[in-house]
Amino acid sequence: MANVRRSARARGAATGKPTATHGRQNSQPLIDLTNRGGAAQGRERKGASEARGDGKAKRARGDGGDDDGASEARAKATKRAQSRENDLRCTESMDATRATARGMVATNSVDYPFSVRGGRREQERVKANVLAPYVVDGKYFNVAIRQQLVDWMAEQHNAMSLTDETLHLAIVYVDTFLTHRVPDTFLQRHGSGSEPVEAKPLRALDGDRVLHAMDAQHPLCNKLKRLGITCVFVAAKVTEVTTPSANVFARYAQVSSFTREQLLLAERALLREMNYALIRPTAFSFAEAYVESVLRSTNRLRRFPDRIDFCGSGFADYGDMPTCFKETTYYLVELSAYGHEGLKFAPSLLAAAAVASSLSYLKITWDEVPILEEVVGYTSDELKEPIDFLRRVARDAQMIEEWGEGLMVNEKYEGCSNFVFSEINSEGDPTRR
């Protein structure tokens, strides 16, 4: 049998005609890179058979089927060839009206997750995702300790060079966990190297202040450090493309007895408390979407030239006006996480207030960017209270800097903090007008 096959191939080579087996092998592509070639070929075969059927039917009716059928077949063949080419290039076609915001869908479409009718707005209304102020002045935990915990988490997060969304999601995890657990009760349980440090009595804040002075002489207890780094560890798994190892996270807890194994046990406890629901709305994710909408609809703020002397502003050395707007919004959103009072605002409302405040520092009003109200769904009147909260937080952050204590967010967004502080000091805070 082997001799028969060899002789058949030899006869084919001698006559210059390929054998049946050789012809079948060359008629198919060697590899389908898109894993969709089979589907495209199926559509080709189906279209060809439909074209032949249409031509036969027209010829049977005697209505010029030869010419019309041939032209229709050529049109379909051209369309099939284009479809095949798109398949091989792995491209997807999308309506021009839908391919606007973030390269996906229109920002005011119900399909856009951050729009007023989008899925993210629906998600923040779910009862399990709604947060509210929960801290009472206890023996081991109070508002100042929470503020210090957020600042410590920001410091470790920045040292590991993680994305901004990771930090904001981790803070949501901390607040959700401590809302479910009474903080003082949680801190008193299971000593063994994580004994809580008694919280210093808090003096009532003067006037409408939001932030407390940072007390470097009163360090966080080990248990809060473990909780904070565990929340960053879990959040990184949700948001990061690649994350440091568990050993690295355990070292950043700054607790000598905290090992990789203990981190993984703490992760399980956190997941149970979160009911394994790790996708939570954050103000930063909304702010990122709203900033993109503003920059796209205003041609990167070129519609508002010469509103301020930007070259003489505190941010001029760090970037241009669109970068200033974007970074200032992110700065205000992260700064708001330090204030316990900010938990009463929905993430989307806080993000919208941050965008409005950043625009006001650039002498641009909310009403001058119509897409904002269309996408966000909040009017300027609804934003007054959260804008006032952000104003007070920024003012307190400046006071803390002047006292020489500092916040990690001011160091991270140095150019934005200088710009905001200079605007506050120059003519009074423009967000109050």
Which string of DSSP letters, residue by residue, matches 107-129?
TTSTTSTTSTTSHHHHHTTSGGG
Region 339-366: what's the mean pLDDT?
94
The DSSP secondary-structure symbol of 295 reads: H
Q: How many residues belong to the chain? A: 433
| pLDDT confidence of residue 193 | 52
Burial of 38-74, coded b for 16+ CB within 10 Å and e otherwise, reads: eebbeebeebeeebeebbeebeeeeeebeeebeebbe
Q: What pLDDT digit, counting tens, does each position of 48-99 carry?
A: 555 555 555 555 555 554 556 677 777 777 776 665 555 444 333 333 343 3
Distance CA 225, CA 69 (A): 75
Q: Select, from the ranges 6-20, 99-113, 227-241, the one with the highest average predicted confidence (pLDDT).
A: 227-241
Instruction: Name residues whose C-beta falls within 8 Å of residue 340's C-beta, 6 or more positions apart in sequence.
Output: 133, 135, 143, 146, 147
Region 153-167: what's the mean pLDDT?
96
The mean-pLDDT minimum among 14-18, 51-55, 70-74, 112-116 falls in: 14-18
pTM: 0.72
Over 50: is that where the pLDDT of 120 sits?
A: yes
Higher-confidence residue of 364 and 101: namely 364
| pLDDT confidence of residue 162 | 96
Distance CA 427, CA 136 (A): 37
The DSSP secondary-structure symbol of 99 reads: S
Q: What pLDDT digit, counting tens, does each position of 225-246 carry?
A: 999 999 999 999 999 999 999 9
Instruction: Name residues whose C-beta falls within 8 Å of residue 149's C-beta, 6 or more positions apart in sequence.
Output: 174, 220, 224, 228
| pLDDT confidence of residue 340 | 93
Supply 156's token pair. Answer: 């470790």
| pLDDT confidence of residue 385 | 95
| pLDDT confidence of residue 18 | 45
**192 SS3 class:** coil
Residue 276: C-alpha distances to residues 113, 124, 165, 424 (Å): 22, 16, 19, 43
Q: What pLDDT digit, counting tens, does each position of 257-275 carry?
A: 899 999 999 999 999 999 9
Residue type, 125: R
The mean-pLDDT minimum among 12-21, 180-189, 295-304 falls in: 12-21
> φ and ψ at 399, to 5 degrees?
-65, -40
- Contact present, 338 and 395 (Cβ < 8 Å): no
Instruction: Calculate the average pLDDT of the chain.
Output: 78
Task: Tell me the sheet residues that pair with 101.
Answer: 105
The mean-pLDDT minimum among 9-18, 73-82, 272-281, 413-422 falls in: 9-18
Instruction: Name residues whose C-beta falls within 8 Å of residue 215's C-beta, 6 or more positions apart in sequence.
Output: 144, 148, 200
Supply 26's token pair. Answer: 């060359």
Alpha helices in 90-180 (DSSP H): 119-123, 143-159, 164-180
| pLDDT confidence of residue 65 | 47
- Contact present, 117 and 110 (Cβ < 8 Å): yes
- Contact present, 250 and 262 (Cβ < 8 Å): yes
Higher-confidence residue of 374 and 64: namely 374
Region 278-285: what's the mean pLDDT?
94
Q: What pLDDT digit, counting tens, does each position of 170-205 carry?
A: 999 999 999 998 888 888 875 555 566 777 777 777
Q: How far is CA 75 from the centre of its chain?
A: 44
| pLDDT confidence of residue 342 | 94
Long-range residue pairs from 248-251, CB within 8 A, at least 24 positions apart, any chain: 248/160, 249/160
Over 90: is that where the pLDDT of 377 sits?
A: no
